[in-house]
């Protein structure tokens, strides 16, 4: 079973872009097991539940290391099509 998560980070700082971009590095270890796509607003992750929940945790932990307040909005969904996992991973930054 695959699940999906659409994640948005909201750092409360004028350097929000730097906080978000540096936090996305926490997802690098998961790029072989999850489909990860980032756009201007959010990051979509699709894959097995265990690595997906670990990736969400690591993303927030990395963002929370910054000295500013940060919030994260996550929408989880079940039933993400497995066939989409075969496509190459393309991440825009």
Q: Going residue by residue through the chain, which has 93 residues, state the pLDDT in tens, using 9 for 90 and above.
A: 899 999 999 999 999 999 999 999 999 999 999 999 999 999 999 999 999 999 999 999 999 997 789 999 999 999 645 555 545 455 555
Report pLDDT for 52.
Answer: 97
Q: CA angle, corner 91, sides to 25 and 9, nearest 5?
A: 55
The SS3 assignment for 8 reads strand
Distance of alpha carbon 8 from alpha carbon 77, whole angstroms? 15
0.85 cut: is pTM over it? no
Report pLDDT for 68.
Answer: 80
The SS3 assignment for 19 reads helix
Distance of alpha carbon 5 from alpha carbon 56, whole angstroms? 8
């Amino acid at each position: 079973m695959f699940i999906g998560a659409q994640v948005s980070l909201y750092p409360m700082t004028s350097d929000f872009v730097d906080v978000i971009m540096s936090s996305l590095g926490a997802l690098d270890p998961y790029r072989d097991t999850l489909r990860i796509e980032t756009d201007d607003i959010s990051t979509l992750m699709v894959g097995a539940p265990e690595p997906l929940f670990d990736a969400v945790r690591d993303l927030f932990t990395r963002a929370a290391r910054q000295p500013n307040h940060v919030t994260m909005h996550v929408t989880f969904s079940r039933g993400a099509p497995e066939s989409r996992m075969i496509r190459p991973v393309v991440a825009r930054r």
